[in-house]
A = this chain, B = another copy of it.
Amino acid sequence: MKKVLAFDIGGTKIAYAVIDKKGNFTNEIIKVTTPKTSAGIFELLKTVIKGFEDEVDGVAIATAGAINNDNNKIISHVGNLPEKYNELDFTSLTSKPILLENDANAAGWAEFKLGAAKGTRNAVILTLGTGVGSGIIVDGKLLKGKSGSAGEMHMRFGFGHERKCTCGLWDCLETYVSGNALTTDAKVYISPEATSYDVIKGLKENNQKARAAFDHWQEYLENALVMMGNLFDPEVIVLSGSMAQFVEYDRLNKQANDDILTQPFKLKPAKFENNAGMLGVALLLLERLN
C-alpha cells in the first residue's frame, strides 16, 4: 500500500510520521522543537527525509503560512516562523513527489475525509493554535482560491489599534481568538505576568478573574463562528488545534446559531487534534499519487 512521509511544521514544534492510504500512522509520531533559523529547519527536514526516503512514495508537508501550489513555496512572511522561511525551496528536498499545504487547510481536509466533518459537503475547520487558521470545504472541495492560499484568517475585529497582529496589521481576528490572544486576556484580567496556562488552570479552580479572561476570549470566538456561519453556511464548524479542547461547545453552539442569518450549523471538536495537519496533507498527496 502506498505511504508518504508527512511533516507538520509549526512555530513551536515540527512533527513527522509515515502515513498510509487508509490514514494509518505506521510509526510513532516524532516531535522536535522547531529550529530557530530557516536554514536549520531545512537541514532538519533534509536529514529526516533521507532517513525515510527508501520506504515512502512521497513527502507531504503541512506548514504555517499561505502556500503557492504552483511552486510549493510559501507566500510572504510567516509571523510564527523564522525570517526567510518563505524563501526555502522545498521541492529541492527530495526527488520523490512532494506536496506542501497550509497546515489549517490540511487539518480541514483530514477532518472532512475521516474526522468530525465526514459526510458533509460544506464545512469550516478552524485551527486555534499559536495563531488561527482555517480549512474550508465548499461543496466537497478544499477552498483554495486562485493560487492555493485562500482561508487566511486575517480580518479586522476592531479599529482601536489595540493588538498588533503577526501579519503586520492591527486587531486581526487572530489577535483575539488564538492561544496568544488568551495570554493577552490573561494579562488584562489576571496579572501582567499571567499566560493562557493561568487562565486554564484558574478555570478549573473556579477563579473569577480566569473566568472573565476566558469569557472575553470566547466571546470573540463566538463572533468568529457567526462570521464563518454567515459567509459559508456550513453544515458543521469544527474546532481544531491546542485551544479547541477548552471551548464550551454547547454554549457557543447555541449562541452562535442564535446570531447567524443562515441556517443552523453544528459546532464540533476535531477528531484528530494535533495530528490533523500531517494526516490531511498525507491524504491529499496520496490521492494525487493514485
Contact A76 B146 (CB under 8 A): no
Q: Which residue of B lies closest to A68 (CB)?
A: B263
Of B138, B151, B220, B262, the contact of A75 (CB 8 Å cutoff): B262
Interfacial residues of chain A within 140-160, with CB under 8 A of chain B in the complex:
141, 143-160
> Is A279 part of the contact surface with B, judged by Cβ < 8 Å?
no
Q: Which B-chain residue is minimally distant from A229 (CB atoms)?
A: B152
State how many angstroms separate the Cβ of A22 from the closest Cβ of chain B.
28
B121 and A154 contact, CB distance less than 8 A: no
Q: Which residues of A contact B (CB under 8 A)?
A: 66, 68, 75-76, 120-122, 138-139, 141, 143-160, 167-169, 220, 223, 226-227, 230-235, 259-263, 265
Given A156-B223, A159-B158, A169-B226, verify A146-B233 contact (CB < 8 Å): yes
30 residue pairs bridging A and B, Cβ less than 8 Å apart: A66-B233, A66-B261, A121-B146, A122-B145, A122-B150, A139-B144, A144-B233, A145-B234, A145-B262, A146-B233, A146-B235, A146-B265, A147-B262, A147-B263, A148-B233, A151-B231, A151-B233, A152-B261, A153-B231, A154-B227, A154-B260, A155-B155, A155-B223, A156-B157, A156-B226, A157-B157, A157-B158, A158-B159, A159-B223, A167-B261
B66/A262 in contact, CB under 8 A? yes
> 17 other contacts beyond A146-B263, A154-B230, A155-B226, with CB at 8 A cut-off?
A66-B261, A75-B263, A122-B150, A139-B141, A146-B235, A147-B233, A149-B233, A150-B233, A152-B260, A152-B261, A153-B231, A156-B223, A156-B226, A156-B227, A157-B158, A159-B223, A160-B160
Q: Which of A151, A159, A167, A233 has the most CB of B within 10 A?
A: A233
Q: How far is the CB of A257 from chain B (nearest CB, A)?
A: 12
Instruction: Kindly state the separation between the CA atoms of A164 and B126 in the bound complex, as whole angstroms.
Output: 28
- Contact check, A149 vs B263: say whether CB atoms are below 8 A apart: yes
A234, B122: Cα distance in complex, Å? 19
Contact B145 A232, beta carbon cutoff 8 Å:
yes
Is the beta-carbon distance between B154 and A157 smaller than 8 angstroms?
Answer: no
Residue of B whose beta carbon sits closest to that of A65: B261
Distance in angstroms from A171 CB to nearest chain B CB is 9
With a cutoff of 8 Å between Cβ atoms, the chain B residues found around residue A157 in the complex are 156-159
Taking the nearest CB of chain B, how far is it from the CB of A71, in angstroms? 12
- Give the Cβ gap from A138 to chain B, nearest Cβ, in Å: 5
Specify which chain B residues have a CB less than 8 angstroms from the CB of A263 in the assembled complex. Answer: 68, 75, 146-147, 149
